[in-house]
A and B are shown apart, each in its own frame.
Chain A
Amino acid sequence: GEDVEQSLFLSVREGDSSVINCTYTDSSSTYLYWYKQEPGAGLQLLTYIFSNMDMKQDQRLTVLLNKKDKHLSLRIADTQTGDSAIYFCAETVGSGNTGKLIFGQGTTLQVKP
């Protein structure tokens, strides 16, 4: 069935790199997403990657996609206290950019000063 798995918690020191990992099940997913939920706020898109890409870099964010292993990761360089939030990985079930979006459980990132 459709499933997205993430580790639940990650703690890092300010200035270190953070790596959040995710595995998914639908090999036909065209887009894979990372959403961020700050305390008391709604979810917002952080970044995405198209399935024909292996890597995408956006300022301090690097997304790596291993389609063979159905593994997605998000690396945050020079992690700041403002990066403390819950990070959700999501896959689109089926091809295209419409369709059901399945989210993982979310990884809580704690950044210590």
Chain B
Amino acid sequence: GAGVSQSPSNKVTEKGKDVELRCDPISGHTALYWYRQSLGQGLEFLIYFQGNSAPDKSGLPSDRFSAERTGGSVSTLTIQRTQQEDSAVYLCASRSARDTGELFFGEGSRLTVL
């Protein structure tokens, strides 16, 4: 597709379960970002992949959160043993190194932990 694709768009899970959120970036974009947007909060940076470099994981809130990017394309954000405070919209974005480096965002995955 032409844009950043995220799945699932909505996920309801029980506390303690693991979840996986998927992001398919724009083809050819070398950088991929994950952000979290909670109600009333801004965009919280989670993790960032740039080409073949080691990812910048400085925003991951705990060791329950992890992400990988396979083959420099699709990325999966995994949250283990989910907690209610993990409920949020998880946004993925990709970026080209050309021009202004504009971030292109997906529609997000809304996670609700009961």
Residues of A at under 8 Å CB distance from B? 6, 31, 33, 35, 41-45, 48, 50, 88, 92, 96-106
Q: Which residues from chain B contact A31 at a C-beta distance below 8 Å?
A: 100-101
Are A106 and B103 CB-contacts (below 8 A) given A98-B95, A98-B97, A100-B48?
no
B18 part of interface (Cβ distance < 8 Å): no
Task: A113 to B50: give the CA distance in the assembly, Å.
Answer: 44
**Interchain CB contact under 8 A, B105 and A43:** yes
A100 to B93, CA, bound (A): 12
A92 vs B58: C-alpha distance in the bound complex, in angstroms?
Answer: 15
Nearest CB of B to A99, in Å: 8
Given A42-B108, A98-B95, A100-B56, also A88-B42 (CB < 8 A): yes
* A98 and B50 form a contact (CB under 8 A): yes
Q: Which residue of B lies closest to A105 (CB)?
A: B42
* Size bin of chain B's contact surface: 20 to 34
Asked whether B111 is an interface residue with its Cβ less than 8 Å from the other chain, the reply is no
Question: Which 8 pairs of residues, A with B, have the shortest CB-CB distance?
Answer: A97-B101, A105-B42, A103-B43, A43-B105, A42-B105, A45-B102, A106-B42, A42-B107
Q: Is B31 a contact of A104 with CB atoms below 8 Å? A: no
Tell me the complex Cα distance, A92–B105, Å: 16
* B70 close to chain A: CB less than 8 A: no
The residue that A48 contacts in the complex, of B56, B91, B102, B108, with Cβ under 8 A, is: B102
B45 touching A101, Cβ below 8 Å: yes
Shortest CB–CB separation between residue B99 and chain A, in angstroms?
Answer: 7
